[in-house]
Amino acid sequence: DVKVTQSSRYLVKRTGEKVFLECVQDMDHENMFWYRQDPGLGLRLIYFSYDVKMKEKGDIPEGYSVSREKKERFSLILESASTNQTSMYLCASSPRQGPLLGVFFGSGTQLSVL
């Protein structure tokens, strides 16, 4: 079975902390994505990557950075967490050919910044 695994289901951090959200996929996909989901706003794309060491900004990259050192792993970094980054974070992956072969999501990480 296809799998996208996010390291934590729930995470609580303090304002100003550096936060790492990890995502691993086992499908040898080239494309990986980070979204955040907030009530009433749907899913919004933060960053995406088409290959190792490549990254592109999505619609809301401010306050975030990403790292992709290995093909299977895509990390989202909050350099200095703030309360407005409290959200559900979803990682996804797809093959190089893109969504026509499906986009696969993890179960999400609910991050609370206090």
Partner 1 sequence: DAKTTQPNSMESNEEEPVHLPCNHSTISGTDYIHWYRQLPSQGPEYVIHGLTSNVNNRMASLAIAEDRKSSTLILHRATLRDAAVYYCILEEYGNKLVFGAGTILRVKS
Q: Rule CB under 8 A: which residues touch partner 1?
A: 4, 31, 33, 35, 40-45, 48, 50, 56, 58-59, 90, 92, 94, 97-100, 102-108
Shortest distance (Å) from residue 88 CB to partner 1: 9
Measured in whole angstroms, the distance separating CA 12 from the mean position of its chain's CA atoms is 17
Q: Length of the chain in residues, anyone?
A: 114
Pairwise CA distance, residues 113 & 19, whole Å: 10
Cα three-residue angle 20-15-53, rounded to 5 degrees: 25
Tell me how far, at minimum, the Cβ of 77 lies from partner 1, in Å. 20
Closest to partner 1 by CB, 28 or 56? 56
What's the Cα-to-Cα distance from 97 to each of 30, 38, 50, rounded to whole Å? 9, 29, 10
Q: Work out how close the CB of 43 gets to partner 1 at its nearest, in angstroms, rounded to a whole number.
A: 4
